[in-house]
Structure 1
Amino acid sequence: MSVRAPIPPAAFAAATLAPLALLAVGAAAGGLWLWLALAYLWLLSLTLDQILPLVESDAPEDAEFPAADALLVALGLATLALPPLAIAAATGSGLSLPEKAALLFSTGLWLGQITHPAAHELIHRGDRHLVRLGIACYAWLLIGHHASSHRLVHHPHVATSRDPASAPRGRGFWRYLPRASLGGFIEGLRAENALRQRSARGLHPYARYALISAAALATAALIGGLPGLGLWLLLAAHAQIQIHLSDYVQHYGLTRATGPDGKPEPVSGRHSWNTAHWFTSALLLNAPRHSDHHSHPSRPYPALRLPDGAPLLPWPLPLAATIALVPPLWRRLMKPHLARLSATDTQG
């Protein structure tokens, strides 16, 4: 069973802002609000995606979404406010230890599951103010270089050995993570330096990322001293792992063929895994429609489509990412899907 209508814009706002409200109230009042936030981000999406029908239809090709960027701005500003709020509550005396743990873990989930797709959308917008907000979100989470590596390395080299964010078949997530993290930093820096050799203007992007990250850490220290600094590092690490998990799952085992000229074939819908689950599509701002994003990076998230023949994962993206944390299980479960995809390519 599947729904015929695409996700309405209001559903994106409701799905992404509801847990933020729970976290804000929970940071102040504790109690049930925090457990509701944790259940929303950890359990509700898995449950609803098993109950609600899939989203198979697309928005009309010429549809406009004037409120789409407004939601991105709201989520971006919330990203800047939420970590200080969580650290102030976690280093204060108003919450119990279990409540503090629930607050921090839920905050990390929100930053990894919602901030990342929002910041990702922002850095692809044409408005430089939106791009700067997306950069600030990533740098606030101490991964500002992702704004460079994603646009300048991942997009042109996806599904090739030149992209640190594309995992070859058989490589487990924990083996993939060091190269994705360090390789993304280095390759993004190399790409930015190459751009500046052609046209150097203003502050180096990596210096800008460092300044924003330094401001984040200084904020953490001012709020909570050394414990606050440590908690910010933990929140950033939690969010960054989810960012890398997203890249890992969405491109695992998919490769672009090399032509006679030694160049990889053009990027197509066959080079990203997608999902069509309703609730997580709303929660993740249609990030699971990943093939269309690579084909049309500037297309706003409500308009992203499911191309014919694009590989589909059988699980919602958050569940797939959870499975990927256990590499032997991930490889075993993905083996038949990769084999089926290879068989289809051979027949084609």
Structure 2
Amino acid sequence: MPPAALFAAATLTPALLLAAGGTLGGAWLIAAALTLTVFSALIDQALRRLGARPTPTAAPGAWADTLSATLALSHFALLALGIAAVTGATGLASWERVLAFFAFGLFMGQVSNSNAHELIHRSTRPLRALGRWVYISLLFGHHASAHPKVHHRYVATPDDPNSARLNESYYRFALRAWLGSFRAGLAAEREKLARGGKPRWQNPYIEYIAGAAALLALSTLAFGPAGLAAHIGLAAYATAQLLMSDYVQHYGLSRARLPNGKYEPVSDAHSWNAPHVFSSLMMLHAPRHSDHHAHPSTPYPALTLPPPAPMLPGPLPSMATLALMPRLWKRVMNPRVARLHASAPNPSAAAAPSGQIARA
């Protein structure tokens, strides 16, 4: 099957199921939720046991941008439908409304977030704007500034709020990363404006905040206070998954400080990756994280899995679930960080900023 068909099937199938589930409920919503959770995990493990290799690198072509634009536009429609479904405006039963919250939130957290991340790295303004507005709709617009200007520059250092420290729980990390990325991105944008001698009103944070406020107002006008609550809830759930991806993909990894005071260059060793087939397709190769940090502008079909890069023991969504249980997470991941630490040419390159490795 051509790469275009594989990516389209993995990403658009849950979107179509949600489109049906938001109005019809029942089996459609159940199918959407299972596709994004149980089915994804089972097919990943089944394909791995059958010896299936990760999808090969493919030339992106125009289809990659077309799929990303389609997913972004679908996101806005699904967000509106999700808010309507959760508030009961589409006539769903109480249990269906609860299921709709989790199913729509999972799609936005795993697919919409991954796609928006891809779009903000594109070179064309319309595509970047689409990605930016996906984040704005999820009340996380500052990520469009903080991610390329802070995270990519300072990843795996104490200066990056989105790099998880060794022994830091996800819950502690999430609050630090949200607030820290907002402040760091704002500082980066102010510095950029000052360097270029541009007025403060050109700061994109105005767009992020005003855009989010306008969309929340629309949700309130359309569905009342319940619509406002549903929008905030879905955005918070999706954003929590984005922060979880950052947590899992950089946990315990750090760059060494060189004698000149600078940090060593970013390498394959500074991101965790996952070779699992289905979840990687569904998340537009986001689990191929080392190559993304090495080549941020590379379109998702062309990302590779460098052989020496650290590999997660399970698919990214499964590891995200494990991270919700800090003790089990440390038991699984800390020994792996320790082995990277021991095998690194410069041990401090794999050491975590928080210090000693906890015993499993």
Q: Provide the TM-score with structure 1 as the length reference.
A: 0.95
Contact 1:87/1:223 (CA < 8 Å) preserved in 2? no
Offset at residue 90 of structure 1 (A):
2.7
Q: Is the 8 A contact 2:220 2:228 kept in 1?
A: yes
AA in 2 matched with 1:130: L
What is the aligned partner in structure 2 of residue 23 from structure 1?
Answer: 18
Alignment of 1:91-240 (within 5 A): 91=87, 92=89, 94-199=91-196, 200=198, 203-240=202-239
Q: Which residue of 2 aligns with 1:341?
A: 340
Separation of aligned partners in 1, 2:23 and 2:158 = 47
Q: Does 1:85 align with 2:85?
A: no
> Aligned residue for 1:9?
4
Distance change >3 Å, CA 85–CA 342, structure 1 → 2 = same
Equivalent AA in structure 1 for residue 145 of structure 2:
S
Distance 2:223 2:287 in 1: 36
Say if 2:55 and 2:277, in contact at 8 Å, map to a contact too.
no
Matched residues in 1 for 2:40 and 2:34: separation?
9
Give the C-alpha shift of residue 326 in structure 1: 1.1
Query: Residues 8-87 of structure 1: matches in 2 within 5 Å?
Result: 8-53=3-48, 54-56=52-54, 58-59=56-57, 63-87=59-83
AA matched with 2:211: I
Counterpart-to-counterpart distance in 2, 1:211 and 1:28: 30
Amino acid at match of 1:119: A
Shift of residue 64 of structure 1?
Answer: 4.0
Structure 1 contact 68–302 (Cα < 8 Å) conserved = yes
- Return the offset for 1:203: 2.9
Q: Deviation string for 1:190-214 (max 9, x for gaps)?
A: 0000000012266320001112101
Cα distance in 2 for residues equivalent to 1:13 and 1:237: 26
Asked if structure 2 preserves the Cα contact closer than 8 Å seen for 1:114 and 1:284, the reply is yes
8 Å CA contact 1:65–1:302 kept in 2: the answer is no
**Worse-matched range after superposition: 103-112 or 87-96:** 87-96
Contact 2:119 2:130 (C-alpha < 8 Å) held by counterparts: yes
Q: Work out the CA distance in 1 between the residues paired with 2:102 and 2:298.
A: 32
Structure 2 Cα separation of the partners of residues 57 and 264 of structure 1: 33
Q: In structure 2, what is the equivalent of residue 304 of structure 1?
A: 303
Aligned to 1:291: 290
Contact 2:22-2:90 at 8 Å conserved across structures? no
The one-character-per-residue Cα deviations of 1:88-146 (angstroms, maximum 9, x if unpaired) are 22322611011111111100000000001100010000001111111000000000000
Q: CA RMSD, aligned part only?
A: 1.6
Q: Return the offset for 1:57.
A: 6.3
Query: Which of 316-325 and 85-94 deviates more?
Result: 85-94
- Asked if the contact 2:256–2:346 (Cα under 8 Å) also holds between the matched residues in 1, the reply is no
Q: Given residue 176 of structure 2, which amino acid in structure 1 is its aligned partner?
A: R
- Tell me, what secondary structure is at the counterpart of 1:55? coil
Q: Secondary structure of the residue that 1:143 maps to in structure 2?
A: coil
1:325-346: CA deviation from partner (whole Å, max 9, x where unpaired) = 1111111111221122122215
Task: Tell me the secondary structure at the aligned position of residue 127 of structure 2.
Answer: helix
Q: Runs ≥4 in structure 1, deviation > 6 angstroms?
A: none
Which ranges in structure 2 are unaligned for 5 or more consecutive residues?
348-360
Cα deviations across residues 288-341 of structure 1 (Å, max 9, x unaligned)?
A: 000000000000000001113100001000011111111111111112211221
